[in-house]
């Protein structure tokens, strides 16, 4: 490759300036020569705002990057080396439903786990597979870096139902790692965290400091610690739970282990008009107001509130490992191939993986700890059924998926909720 | 073996006359020459009533069986060929707590699944392992046929923590099979049901009639059908659920798939003073009144209401397969050894197995259907943690078990409930 | 089924009278109403001799069986319930080459294992898959009982490359069992032998007498014992070997563990004009002379020398288990499905299996004993490559198969031998 | 760690100057502060020669390394961070027997594979486990880097029978990689080779150039290529074989695929007095003459003929990855943990692994290619039996190991050879 062509699907996202900043900072090792921002009709206005800001940012640093913004995805994909996908099918209005409707059934409303994430997956999988169909025709050899949520399920759909090379990313693992490094007050190079599990359902099984396993000491401190994911409610972990599990859970696990408190919190937030979708809408409004300022030539500080800490860092360091064939270790979503021996080989897992030009290669981890094995296996079954439902359009399979989601499970609630989901997203979800 | 010596632990149970009847009916192929009924001090009175009735039943048929009733377990075990265990540690008063206390935490109270079964398991495992210790010293080669509930967990504890040869039994599979044969209106010899799963969490994956797989047709009829387990509340299955699962669930699965309705039912029953423990107490009172009648020389018809249909049939046909080395197929609880490929090889599973003098040999089944795989795996993790907690006495592990029970899962509810369980059974449960 | 229709492919075989006798003896439980003997043009004369003898045998016993002999396979298959396949593609002349040509390369010449069996498999697989194609069109629900050698490889080809329900049989396991029962001098009903492995590469891992594992005692006696397979040369087992393995090997294992002595024996036999193919030709000539005698109305005693002891017994008891849905245990070749955990689930294994109207269900056995695990795995790889080579016609894959055969392995010998095999069977083997 | 203490067991080896050179070159990232060379009484003279040369080498470069040579292993181990083991139990005279005795039985004589490697493993395992016992007492946290051959078997013995952290190394993989890079004429950073298998039985499944899988093209060129392991005879690969396997075999695989030619070669070499042990003796004599020269202050060029190309490079880069927690990928011998799904999780495999301060973590590879699966599995069984035999002292198990070695297999040859091996190494091998 002489220069790299990157295509960002969902380029009008408020996150994009973070990516631009990353491209600028990493230009020495990652010589991006062309960037295309793609979005859909409804996002045109935002897309143009972002394009304009990106142009100013590149210009300020004097980088020679060919920049384009377009609604024509197929054209954009020509000659692409990397495609970054960060779309939100149905936008924030759909997210609002994902978060609020389950509450009517006394169920967690969350946009990636639970019933909310289920609805989101059903809307998103067909759109993502459409993108893959385009890529298969236009740029089969390009890499698809997926940030679109629910990231593990989307990556599963892509790896199973397309020929596109794909790695799924999420910023939770790096946030957990940094939180631990912060707790320890040491240089990150001395710490090694061993992640196992699924996206938004992962665990650190071991924390090593200079090669010594210090997991037990860390466990004592995690319970007291503040949440490390700023976009989920800040319910405290049960100290006894953390000690019982013997592993460090992703903050998203609170939805599974503290369901009652989280449900209470969600209900109060909704009553108080505080739902996350609405908060995000407000933040976005503010951000775009800033972005429109023709004097702005760099990523504004306020963007960090948006919830995507380290987003650009992990995306670009992953692209770097592929482009430069570095064989460095990243925590990514990729096909299991026996790495986690209690999950099927063809499953997608979120775990430490070597990444180089030939792709992501998960490290063999052996069995899951018994304390979390069952939950991970149960959610994996839910994920596979969800992908199958979205691809086959089978309502029967969709119901089977929902009763396998530990945050739903009750068959009658599942059945009624499923009817509402189908009713609520007529353009997106077609199940029979 | 010249004649068979059978020892019944919990011999004073109201079920025993059914066993006696079975021994009489099967005497030709199963020549029982000695029967010892063992019980504990608190059960002495009932034990003597049963002994007396058994004596009359044997006398009426003229069988030459040496009969004894005793509180001295070690003496009873000498020379035993088969030991049948059907104990209830803590008796019906403990069962009442198992069924009512979880309701205070908004959790299912059921004596085999959910939090009730968990408390029961913690009380029972140490007692059963004591029996095994006695057997190891006194009759190492004897077979332990376990009916004690929760049967799968108890069988796990025995197979993992003793050297005693053990097979676990439950009458649910035969009831399900007979219900299906009844639906079809055909001779049982033409039907073959393929069971997979765990005790009180099993599924019929395939129903064959004359070798043809008719599962799909049966599924249509199961939803409409009345409950086939008379000792659980009669909530109707969701038709959509049955179709979605694609397999026929044990009636106990209603606790998992219709949790809300079952919880509602349990609460109403408790409010109305209708809890199952109390019902059973009343039935038992009535049965023992009958048993005391010196004119009674056979099993009274009322016993069938007690909930143990086919109990004697499956127990004795199992003993027959071992004693006569018949290699017939039974649905039992035994060590997996790869039979169900999604569960660890050392797990106990409830599945079709060949039984002969060398033991139970499960048939290889391959993977679990995706629609139920996750739930079975999750409950298996709960079961293993429960056994580990009971054996190690670790409260930490007990909490990990509870949060892995899909009928509990919430960490705070689990923690508070666990404290109550420990408090409620001071003589039986010791966790630190 | 009102009456059973059986079709025998290779009906003109000298073995057929044994089958006829079995049908007569088992008529009460297995009401055969129609029997069609099918053969090819070259076998017409023998076919008519057999048909005539069969007719006399049925007539003598007064059984009402509709009997036909035909060259028209498709017509014969109409309405078939069971198809028994016992063909020898290329006949005894081809067998002679299978047995003699490898010797020129200093390799074992044997018609089922080693290079001989390889050539035979390549000739036979396309013909057997042709039969399956016919069955798929004409009698899809019928059972194919395969005796055609190499039985394990042929069964693999059928289960992987057709939709026909198939069970593979071999009379070695029953011969081993009877030999052990004979050694013990007890009734077979008291003995249970646990078989693991592949066809002509199986082991008895455990011998139970009345449920007691007596394998160690049996091992001591096996080494001294005469061969239990009368159609392989009678080389004595190394006593040390049998003790080292800790399991009882099939007599065919002598080719693998005593290769040098067997090779010597084969060479001497060839020099002396004593090759097995020729012996069989002589026996057959004699047998057909007897069969032609219009006074003969039953199976002649001399047939037992032919090497197929218990052939009819195992074939018909298998058909009985299917027809009468008995769920009895047979040692058969069937798809592994996890039964032997060290072999792929889709492999064909020879092991104890429950057989009923829904098919053969292998018993879960866990891992292979370490002493024989590697050899079984290596031969399994050879078998899979052989099937792949025959189906794909790839000479490359055929070479890979041969170097994986522990009786060949040397790449140059394999390459040269492969050229000769292709050259020797121009009508049958097409590899490029 | 402030400065690193390295202990070399077998420090008097002619290879040691290469290690010293490596320590000098890598001192910036690997600050070795203390080096102890340990050897046994018989090697004292050589040890002192090496110590003296090492001292001159360090002095010339002005590095402040505390250097010692000693026969007191326990004292040497105090405070060790890394222990490098490169011993040869029995020395070159034993090697001579390993190479020549099997030839008398018409079997390959090679010091790492075949019967020679078997004898060597039996001699070496007890000695290596003695070293581990010392380390457990004196420097439990230190890393044992094992070069002692047969490296895979020795690493298996250590990981299974001690608590010492161990990684096994061999220079074959790096030689193969460099040979391929040389063929391609590209910078090594652009190439990624995926290794699978066992020590001296590994395969490159995929060669990637800039992320593109170019394995097929490489296969075409490998057959023509000269041997890439200078210490095994230079027999040409069969072109057809390489194409059939579809993977690139380690040069040691010639013993398995070209057994006849290798045996011929060995026999000729022995007749001509050209056995490798003797060659090595001559080279060593010459090297030590050079080492004794007080004017020599650096590694002499002649050392490269000795057969250990890249030895120092891989040893020190591995130590660097551990010491500096780099998480770089190395091809090492380590516990499988599911990485190669066709081998037991507790097996030792030679495969690409991430190495950091917490150890070696193999990358999940999924199943072995069918063309080589069986051979690898068979040799793995041989390796496990060999370790078991050495540890248990069971002659029975030793025989089982030999018949599982594809280069032996014949039971009678194995039995007789085993007797000879026991007879030949009375001080080292004790089997009953």
> Cβ of A241 and B399 within 8 Å?
yes
Find the residue in B nearest to C321 (Cα): B211
Whether C192 sits among the annotated catalytic residues: the reply is: no
Q: What percent of chain A has pLDDT over 70?
A: 97
Q: Name the interface residues of C facing B (CB cutoff 8 Å).
A: 189-190, 192, 194, 206, 208, 210-213, 322, 325, 327-329, 336-339, 341, 345, 352, 354, 356-359, 361-366
Task: Give me the residue from C259, C261, C377 closest to D377, CB to CB.
Answer: C377
Max Cα-Cα span within chain A: 60
Task: Give the angle D72-D75-D79 at the CA atoms, nearest 5°.
Answer: 145
Average of per-residue pLDDT values in chain B: 94
Q: Is residue C361 part of a domain?
A: no
Are C411 and D238 in contact (CB < 8 Å)? yes
User: Per the CB < 8 Å rule, is D363 touching A366?
Assistant: no
Cα–Cα nearest to B369, from B253, B206, B239, B241? B206
pTM of the model: 0.96
- Encode burial over B283-310: b for 16+ CB neighbours within 10 A, e otherwise: bbeebbebbeeeebeebeeebeebbbbb
Please tell me what DSSP assigns to residue B98. Answer: H
Assess contact for D229 and D240: CB atoms under 8 A: no
A399–B241 C-beta distance less than 8 A: yes
Which residue among the candidates C15, C192, C208, C252 is catalytic per the annotation? C252
Question: What confidence score (pLDDT) does residue A232 get?
Answer: 64
Angstrom distance (rounded) from CA D51 to CA B264: 83
**C363 → closest Cβ in B213, B336, B354:** B354
3-state class percentages of chain C: helix first, strand second, coil last, to nearest 5: 50, 15, 30
* Sign of the CA dihedral with B371 first, then B376, B377, and B378 last: positive
Using a CB-CB distance cutoff of 8 angstroms, which residues of chain C are in contact with residue D261? 412
Neighbouring chains of D at 3+ CB pairs under 8 Å are: A, C
- Out of C206, C328, C364, the one facing B364 most closely (by C-beta) is C364
Residues of A in contact with B381 (CB under 8 A): 370-371, 373-375, 377
Query: How much of chain D exceeds pLDDT 70, in percent?
Result: 97
CATH of the domain at A69: 3.40.50.720
Closest CA to C339 of C331, C327, C349: C349
Confidence grade of residue A221 (pLDDT, cut at 50, 70, 90): confident
Instruction: Decide: A261 and A297 in contact? Cβ < 8 Å.
Output: no
Residues in chain D within 8 Å Cβ distance of C246: 400
C306, part of any domain: yes
Enumerate the active-site residues of D.
Answer: 252
**Of D189, D329, D362, which has the smallest distance from its Cβ to A364's Cβ?**
D362
* A413 found inside a domain: no
CA distance D394 to chain C (A): 10
Residues of A in contact with B382 (CB under 8 A): 374
DSSP-based three-state secondary structure for A82: strand
d(CA D183, CA D177): 10
Q: Is residue B37 domain-resident?
A: yes
pLDDT in tens, B318-373: 999 999 999 999 999 999 999 999 999 999 999 999 999 999 999 999 999 999 99
- What rounded mean pLDDT belongs to chain A? 94
Q: Give the DSSP letter string of C253-315.
A: GHHHHSHHHHHHHHHHHHHTT--HHHHHHHHHHHHHHHHH-TT--S--GGGGGGS-TTHHHHH
Q: Is the pLDDT of residue A231 over 70?
A: no
Specify if C241 maps to a domain.
no
C399 closest CB neighbour out of D244, D377, D399: D244
Neighbouring C-beta atoms of residue A200, cutoff 10 Å:
26
Please state, in angstroms and rounded to a whole number, the distance separating the CA atoms of residues A111 and A108.
10
Q: What is the pLDDT along chain D (432 residues), one digit of tens a residue?
A: 469 999 999 999 999 999 999 999 999 999 999 999 999 999 999 999 999 999 999 999 999 999 999 999 999 999 999 999 999 999 989 999 999 999 999 999 999 999 999 999 999 999 999 999 999 999 999 999 999 999 999 999 999 999 999 999 999 999 999 999 998 999 999 999 999 999 999 999 999 999 999 999 999 887 766 455 445 677 888 999 999 999 999 999 999 999 999 999 999 988 988 877 788 888 889 999 999 999 999 888 888 777 677 889 999 999 999 999 999 999 999 999 999 999 999 999 999 999 999 999 999 999 999 999 999 999 999 999 999 999 999 999 999 999 999 999 999 999 999 999 999 999 999 999
Give the distance from residue C339's alpha carbon to the nearest chain B alpha carbon, in angstroms.
Answer: 5
Rounded to the nearest angstrom, the minimum Cα separation between A310 and chain D is: 21
B364 to C337: CB separation less than 8 angstroms, yes or no:
yes
Flag whether pLDDT at A396 surpasses 70: yes
> What region does A200 belong to: left with phi over 0, alpha with psi -120 to 50, or beta?
left
**D322, D337, D354 ranked by CB distance to A354: nearest:** D354
The confidence score (pLDDT) of residue C228 equals 54
Contact criterion met (CB < 8 Å) for A211 and D358: yes
Residues from D contacting A (CB-CB < 8 Å) are 189-190, 192, 194, 206, 208, 210-213, 322, 325, 327-329, 336-339, 341, 345, 352, 354, 356-359, 361-366
Identify the domain containing residue D20 by its residue range: 4-170
CA dihedral C188, C189, C192, C195 (to 10 degrees): 60
Report which of D378, D233, D103 is spatially closest to residue C403, judged by C-alpha positions.
D378
Q: B339 vs chain C: nearest CA distance in angstroms?
A: 5
How many Å is the maximal CA-CA distance in chain B? Answer: 60
Task: Determine which of A235, A237, A240, A432 to mutate to test the interface with B (most B C-beta atoms within 10 Å).
Answer: A240
Q: Which residues pair with B335 in a beta bridge?
A: B348
Mutate to test the interface with D, among C201, C264, C403, C417 (most CBs of D within 10 A): C403
Determine the residue of chain C that is closest to B353 in CA distance: C363
Gap from A186 CA to chain D (nearest CA, Å): 14
- Note the pLDDT tens digit of each residue in A406-428: 999 999 999 999 999 999 999 99
If interface means Cβ-Cβ distance under 8 Å, which residues of chain B face chain A? Answer: 238, 240-241, 243-246, 256-261, 342, 370-371, 373-375, 377-382, 384-385, 388, 396-397, 399-400, 403-404, 406, 409-413, 415
C267-301: pLDDT as tens digits: 998 898 887 778 888 888 999 999 999 999 988 88
Residue B52, in any domain of the structure: yes
CB-based contact C338 B189, cutoff 8 Å: no
Q: Which of D211, D329, D357 sits opposite A357 (nearest CB)?
A: D211
Closest chain D residue to the Cα of C377, Cα to Cα:
D374
Domain count, chain A: 1
Residue A19's nearest CA partner among A41, A3, A43, A36 is A36
Least CA distance to A336: which residue of chain D?
D364
Predicted confidence (pLDDT) per residue in A151-177, tens digit: 999 999 999 999 999 999 999 999 999
Residues of A in contact with D328 (CB under 8 A): 327
Q: Does residue C248 lie within any of the structural domains? A: no
In a domain, A288, yes or no: no
* Calpha distance A12→B89 (Å, rounded): 65
Closest residue in A to B386 (Cα–Cα): A371
């Amino acid at each position: 490759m002489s220069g790299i062509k990157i295509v960002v699907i969902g380029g009008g996202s408020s996150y994009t300036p973070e990516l631009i900043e990353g491209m600028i900072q990493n230009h020495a090792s990652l010589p991006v020569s062309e960037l295309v921002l793609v979005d859909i009709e409804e996002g045109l206005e935002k897309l143009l705002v972002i394009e304009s800001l990106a142009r100013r940012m590149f210009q300020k640093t004097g980088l020679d990057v060919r920049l384009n913004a377009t609604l024509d995805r197929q054209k954009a994909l020509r000659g692409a080396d990397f495609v970054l996908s960060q779309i939100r099918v149905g936008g924030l209005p759909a997210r609002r439903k994902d978060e609020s409707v389950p509450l009517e059934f006394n169920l967690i409303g969350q946009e990636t786990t639970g019933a909310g994430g289920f609805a989101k997956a059903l809307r998103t999988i067909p759109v993502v597979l459409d993108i893959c169909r385009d890529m298969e025709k236009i740029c089969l050899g390009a890499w698809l870096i997926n940030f679109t949520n629910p990231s593990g399920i989307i990556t599963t759909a892509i790896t199973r139902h397309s020929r596109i090379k794909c790695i799924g990313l999420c910023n939770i693992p790096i946030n957990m790692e940094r939180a631990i490094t912060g707790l320890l007050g040491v240089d990150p190079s001395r710490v090694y965290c061993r992640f196992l599990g699924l996206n938004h359902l992962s665990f650190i099984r071991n924390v090593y400091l200079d090669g010594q396993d210090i997991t037990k000491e860390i466990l004592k401190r995690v319970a007291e610690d503040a949440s490390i994911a700023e976009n989920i409610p800040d319910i405290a972990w049960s100290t006894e739970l953390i000690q019982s599990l013997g592993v460090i859970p992703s903050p998203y696990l609170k939805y599974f282990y503290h369901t009652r408190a989280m449900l209470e919190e969600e209900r109060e937030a909704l009553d108080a008009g505080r739902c996350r979708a609405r908060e995000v809408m407000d933040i976005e409004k503010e951000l775009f107001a800033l972005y429109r300022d023709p004097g702005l030539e760099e990523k504004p500080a306020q963007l960090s509130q948006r919830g995507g800490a380290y987003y650009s860092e992990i995306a670009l360091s992953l692209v770097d490992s592929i482009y430069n064939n570095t064989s460095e270790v990243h925590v990514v979503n990729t096909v299991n191939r026996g790495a986690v021996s209690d999950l099927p080989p063809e499953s997608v897992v979120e775990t430490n993986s070597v990444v180089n030009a030939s792709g992501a290669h998960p490290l063999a981890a052996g069995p899951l700890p018994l304390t979390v094995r069952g939950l991970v296996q149960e959610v994996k079954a839910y994920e596979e059924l969800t992908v199958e439902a979205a691809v086959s359009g089978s309502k029967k399979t969709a119901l089977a998926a929902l009763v396998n989601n530990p945050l739903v499970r009750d068959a009658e609630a599942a059945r009624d909720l499923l009817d509402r989901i189908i009713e609520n997203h007529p353009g997106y979800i077609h199940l029979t």
